[in-house]
Structures are given as structure tokens and as C-alpha cells.
Amino acid sequence: MTHSWQLKPETLQMIDNLEKTHWFAHVGEPIENQNIVQVFSWKEAVMYCRQRYSSNVQIECRNLLTERLCIEHSKRYQLWNVIAPAVCAVVEPLIIGKTNDIIRANKLPKAFLDTVGWDIHNICMELEYADLIPPRFFAERAKWYLAGHFPCGWEGDFPVGGKLVVF
């Protein structure tokens, strides 16, 4: 039995905004923001993508979301495995389309695509549950993609005291 899921308007709007944005157009340009750590090369950005700590922070952010959903909104959380494939079906072509040229031009590794894919998928999953839990971590990363930068890692303590690393 297959289920079709209609993504929420907010999720579809974010996907539309991401579609219209030139991802990575401003990587390396100076950023006036003291709440982040900035890197200035693809080499540095990839180093953060490959760091287990940065990946673990991404995973922990989704875990915090799913844990809260499970505890506080278990009925809606049961739809996660219906919503996630619906999100994937829409964002996979977007991710491939937005990353193919940059991967080829800069010889970027799978870790780059994994980081971007995880972010974009979870940006949408946060929005699908935004009526229950306000989007946080992945919403912050979405702002950077929309601004043409690449949120590539995390430095310092998590969830408090650390900073997003942005190229």
C-alpha cells in the first residue's frame, strides 16, 4: 500500500525559494556575522564536511527533533516515514541539479553531497513539523543556502556555545 503525502505550503515555499536561489554563489566572500566561523576555501569546507563531529551535530539536531516529536506528539511522529519519502522525492532532483556543476568544477567528494542532502532534507522535515516544534538548527542552515553560502560544519560545544561553520 502506498501513501501519498501532500507537503505543507511552507515546505513547498522553501523548496521553491531554494530552487530559485543560486546555491554557493557567494562562497568565500566575507561575511559580517560574529555568530559563525567562516572558512574561505572548498578544501576547508570539505574538511568540515568530513569531520565526524560536524556530522554528529547534524544527526543530533535531527535526533532532537524526532525525540521531541516522539515524546510530545507521538501520533504525528508516526507519519515521519510517510513524510520523509515524500520530501525525498521532491528534493533529490533539486539537490542533484544544484550540486552537479559545483561538484564537477571543484572535484568535491561524496561527503559534500551527503552534507547538502542531509541539510536540505531536514530543512523540509523541520518545516513539515513546524506547527508543533519551531524550526531551529536546519532553518538556520537554510538561511545560508538561500544567501549563496555553504553551511559546512560545526565548531565548539553543541547545542550551546558552538558555532556554525560557513563557507
Q: Is residue 29 part of a domain?
A: no
Domain that holds residue 72: 40-148
State the average pLDDT for the chain.
96
Q: Is residue 139 part of a domain?
A: yes
Q: Is residue 5 part of a domain?
A: no
Residues 22-35 pLDDT 10s: 999 999 999 999 99
Q: In which band, very low, low, confident or very high, does the pLDDT at 3 lie, cut at 50, 70 and 90?
A: low
Number of Cβ within 10 Å of residue 60's Cβ equals 15
Range 145-157 average pLDDT: 97
Q: Is the pLDDT of residue 138 over 60?
A: yes
Edge-to-edge strand ranges of the sheet holding 151-155 = 36-38, 163-166, 151-155
Q: Is residue 132 part of a domain?
A: yes
Q: Is residue 163 part of a domain?
A: no
Rounded to two decimals, the pTM is 0.95
Q: Is residue 7 part of a domain?
A: no
Residues 4-62 pLDDT 10s: 789 999 999 999 999 999 999 999 999 999 999 999 999 999 999 999 999 999 999 99
Amino acid at 3: H
How many structural domains are present in the chain? 1
Q: Is residue 35 part of a domain?
A: no
Residues 63-99 pLDDT 10s: 999 999 999 999 999 999 999 999 999 999 999 999 9
Q: Is residue 18 part of a domain?
A: no
**Contact call for residues 166 and 36 (beta carbons, < 8 A):** yes
35 contacts: CB under 8 Å, gap ≥ 6: 163, 164
| pLDDT at res. 5 | 87
